[in-house]
Amino acid sequence: MTKRVTIADVAKKAGLSKGAVSYALNGQPGVSETTRQRVLRLALEMGWHPNSAAKALSGARAGAFGLVLARPASTLGIEPFFMKLISGMESAMASSQTALLLQVVPDHAAEIAVYRRWWAERRVDGVFLIDLCRDDPRVPVLEELRLPAMVVGGPGHHGALPGVWIDDTSAMVMVMEYLAALRHRRIARVGGVPGMLHTELRTEAFDSVAGRLGLEWSVTISTDYSPEQGAQVTRRLLSSAAPPTAIVYDNDVMAVAGVSVAHEMGVRVPADLSIMAWDDSVLCEITHPPLTAVSRDSTAYGAQVAAKLLALLNGEVVTEVEETPPRLVVRGSTARPG
Amino acid sequence: MTKRVTIADVAKKAGLSKGAVSYALNGQPGVSETTRQRVLRLALEMGWHPNSAAKALSGARAGAFGLVLARPASTLGIEPFFMKLISGMESAMASSQTALLLQVVPDHAAEIAVYRRWWAERRVDGVFLIDLCRDDPRVPVLEELRLPAMVVGGPGHHGALPGVWIDDTSAMVMVMEYLAALRHRRIARVGGVPGMLHTELRTEAFDSVAGRLGLEWSVTISTDYSPEQGAQVTRRLLSSAAPPTAIVYDNDVMAVAGVSVAHEMGVRVPADLSIMAWDDSVLCEITHPPLTAVSRDSTAYGAQVAAKLLALLNGEVVTEVEETPPRLVVRGSTARPG
DNA sequence: CTGAAAGCGCTTACAG
DNA sequence: CTGAAAGCGCTTACAG
């Protein structure tokens, strides 16, 4: 195989020292503009690429961010949110040659272990923290390790770590006011994992708006986000003596499962039951009827989070950033109750 | 922050040279068993972790495998297959402290560029090649680079690269014989992206079995795997003068879309139309009726592929490996035509 | 079985 | 503006 081209090779060919070449390549002061151009051209010609290990070892960055997903693989794969978030992150990381390390783990304890190892091995320059919980045990660990981190979530509850959040509270207000305007008076919510901050924020908003609007009846039932539980809860709700006329689901796959259950039970959507999904995706478009959904731009969210982590590493002060608020996409699954 | 513990610190405390400590830590000969135990205990106590950059720079491995996904993020996120595959890969990589680098790109050209860069930077020790195509342009590049790679696919068409494959041909035979036994004589197939090897193998098997069984009519229509196209093709098929009595879909999301279209058009499943999904997932279980599917263990598949790549790096000879064949999971979406 | 030393390919003060 | 040198934290021949 052709030998790898190192900085020494470039320096030799250029008639310069390795140091000078390094300065030229990294846009550092210390070389004249003409020299820099010459070196850059030469490096390109010779097919030089920085050895990431050497770069990392000599004090520069590892050139990688880490993302740990602590959910069962079966659930992860099915939620379009994650891949969109990831591809958004990568689009923002590309310009700075930063790679993404991905790890799927069963729980928070394993996740924390991964952070410790990654940081001890200097595998990553920073990490993204996802699915923020109240009293999240991961936050103090990251703070103590001083591992640069950006929290995907909030507001608040992430200690001194910076975070990017989407306003779930006002999105829920929007959802409820929309359903109330359609004259729904009995609304159920099939919620996500209790303890997760966005779940709790939505629950609080749901309850408080339900009270303010003077609904006849409202309830939140928690799930693990899986379509199985979504289906099961829907079945229970629709079997009750006085079923809801509208159900709000905390993700898209549970909403799709809800539609199936309605079909199965002979409940017409939206004539007998309005269904709303949280997080829009093609899944919402392929069901019959297509689902009204709370839509957020997950790719842009990912890009924003990654950009902020890069900014943090560049010494900028980043605390808490609010993403653009979600929109309501009205499709065929919601209507005035019959 | 507390200073990082290096091998020199451990050596000093142990009263040994750095070399001796390195031998002890890596299970190399050159130290007595008692010394090795003492060093290991000390390293653990002191919280020593190998610096991945230093390790990689001194000739050892980068400690990472790369996976590039060249599909639109919108499609990726929705197919449970990928996350299962990824989590399977990681489970096999965990024991050897190997991380997974993930990159999402728009096309093969970008994917090839990523391989070149990763290898030039020595970011990875090897890569997984996914979605193998006929005359795949990525194969000769990886061969030329001598970048260790395991192909997720086959049989054949991956040059000198080793691959792990699942027998799609006999799975298709199984599917067709099952449908024929139910007395289906008009079978359509909503296929994946043409050019992808598994798509083509399935198409060939579909055509040849259709001929052998003497079906009245059969057809394959290609798609991009998206639910939109799955829905669109289904609509067209069901609108024809003599519609099929059974449709086989090349993935799960298109099959789910197909069920929605059937509902929408008043076509009863399975009374009027049998539907089969390829790749089983919770998606298949949540529709009404639940979908009969070709099921393969994607997590085990990923684990197998990763284990083989590790074996390859350890100098073992790996050529072509066949995974356990897929099973047919019969649920409510298939029946004898009315 | 153990120690001293060179080297991996970069970056970065430090002199000139 | 440029050169020579040390150092990052490991691994691995090479002597003893």
Is residue A338 pLDDT above 90, yes or no? no
Q: Enter the DSSP assignment of A133.
A: B
pLDDT digits (tens, 9 = 90+) for A170-207: 999 999 999 999 999 999 999 999 999 999 999 999 99
Spatial neighbors of A60 by CB under 8 A, at least 6 apart, are none
Quick check: B1 contacting A, CB < 8 Å? yes
Is A82 within 8 Å of B81 when comparing Cβ atoms? no
- Same domain assignment for residues A35 and A134: no
In-domain check, residue B72: yes
List, in sequence order, the alpha helices (H) in A187-277. Answer: 197-213, 227-239, 252-265
Spatial neighbors of A34 by CB under 8 A, at least 6 apart, are none
What pLDDT does residue A277 have?
Answer: 97
Spatial CA neighbour of A7 closest among A47, A64, A38, A57: A47
Is B100 within 8 Å of A99 when comparing Cβ atoms? no
Spatial neighbors of B278 by CB under 8 A, at least 6 apart, are B202, B248, B249, B250, B251, B252, B255, B293, B294
In-domain check, residue B248: yes
Quick check: A74 contacting B, CB < 8 Å? yes
φ, ψ for residue B184, nearest 5 deg: -75, 135
Is residue B15 pLDDT above 60, yes or no? yes
Is A227 within 8 Å of B283 when comparing Cβ atoms? yes
Interatomic CA distance for residues B239 and B265, integer angstroms = 9
Quick check: B56 contacting A, CB < 8 Å? yes
Q: What residues in B contact A73, CB-CB < 8 Å?
A: 83-84, 86-88, 299
Token reading at B63: 């400690």
- Same domain assignment for residues A78 and A160: yes
Confidence of residue B68 (pLDDT cuts 50, 70, 90): very high
Cβ contacts, strand D, under 7 angstroms:
A 15-20, 23, 29-33, 35, 54, 57-59; B 4, 6-8, 18-19, 22-23, 25-26, 28, 30, 48-51, 54-55, 57-60
Confidence of residue B72 (pLDDT cuts 50, 70, 90): confident
In-domain check, residue B317: yes
What's the whole-number mean pLDDT along residues B250-277? 95
In-domain check, residue B130: yes
Token reading at A53: 């290990």
- Whether residue A243 is preceded by a cis peptide bond, meaning omega within 30 degrees of 0, is no
- Which of A47, A52, A286 comes nearest B123 by C-beta? A52
- Same domain assignment for residues A16 and A92: no
- Same domain assignment for residues A197 and A287: yes
Is B282 within 8 Å of A54 when comparing Cβ atoms? no
What pLDDT does residue B1 have?
Answer: 41
Is residue A322 pLDDT above 60, yes or no? yes
φ, ψ for residue B310, nearest 5 deg: -60, -45
- Which of A86, A104, A263 comes nearest B263 by C-beta? A263
Number of domains present in the structure of chain B: 3
CATH number for position B162: 3.40.50.2300
What's the whole-number mean pLDDT along residues B72-100? 88
What pLDDT does residue A146 have?
Answer: 92
CATH number for position B28: 1.10.260.40
Strands, E, within chain B: which ranges?
A: 64-69, 99-104, 126-129, 149-152, 163-165, 186-191, 217-222, 246-249, 274-278, 292-295, 320-322, 327-329
In-domain check, residue A331: no
The owner of tokens 């709790």 is A200
- Same domain assignment for residues B41 and B81: no
| Mean pLDDT estimate for chain B | 93
Å from the A20 CA to the D2 C1': 7
Å from the B52 CA to the C12 C1': 21
Quick check: B109 contacting A, CB < 8 Å? no
What pLDDT does residue A166 have?
Answer: 96
- Same domain assignment for residues A244 and A303: no
Confidence of residue A1 (pLDDT cuts 50, 70, 90): very low
Report chain A's terminal Cα–Cα distance, integer Å.
74
Quick check: B117 contacting A, CB < 8 Å? yes
pLDDT digits (tens, 9 = 90+) for A75-124: 787 888 899 999 999 999 998 889 999 999 999 999 999 999 999 899 99
Is residue B73 pLDDT above 80, yes or no? no
Domain range for A125: 64-166+298-322
Is A54 within 8 Å of B53 when comparing Cβ atoms? yes
What pLDDT does residue A3 have?
Answer: 64
Nearest-CA distance A121 → chain B (Å): 4
Q: How many other C-beta atoms are found inside a 10 Å radius of the C-beta of residue B214? A: 8
Nearest-CA distance B153 → chain A (Å): 20
Task: Identify whether the C-beta of residue A300 lies closer than 8 Å to the C-beta of residue A325.
Answer: no
The owner of tokens 């830590």 is B25
- Which of B73, B122, B123 comes nearest A299 by C-beta? B73
What's the whole-number mean pLDDT along residues A154-167? 94
Burial of B46 (0-12, 13-18, 19+ CB in 10 A): middle
**Residue B313 three-state SS:** helix
Q: Which residue of A has its CA nearest to B232?
A: A286
Interatomic CA distance for residues A75 and A227, integer angstroms = 8
pLDDT digits (tens, 9 = 90+) for A289-299: 999 999 999 99
What pLDDT does residue A144 have?
Answer: 93
What pLDDT does residue B20 have?
Answer: 87
Q: What residues in B contact A100, CB-CB < 8 Å?
A: 101-103
What's the whole-number mean pLDDT along residues A226-236? 95
- Same domain assignment for residues B41 and B74: no
**Got the DSSP string for B157-225?**
-STTS-EEE--HHHHHHHHHHHHHHTT--EEEEEE--TTBHHHHHHHHHHHHHHHHHT-SEEEEEE--S
In-domain check, residue B334: no
- Same domain assignment for residues B180 and B282: yes
Is residue B250 pLDDT above 90, yes or no? yes
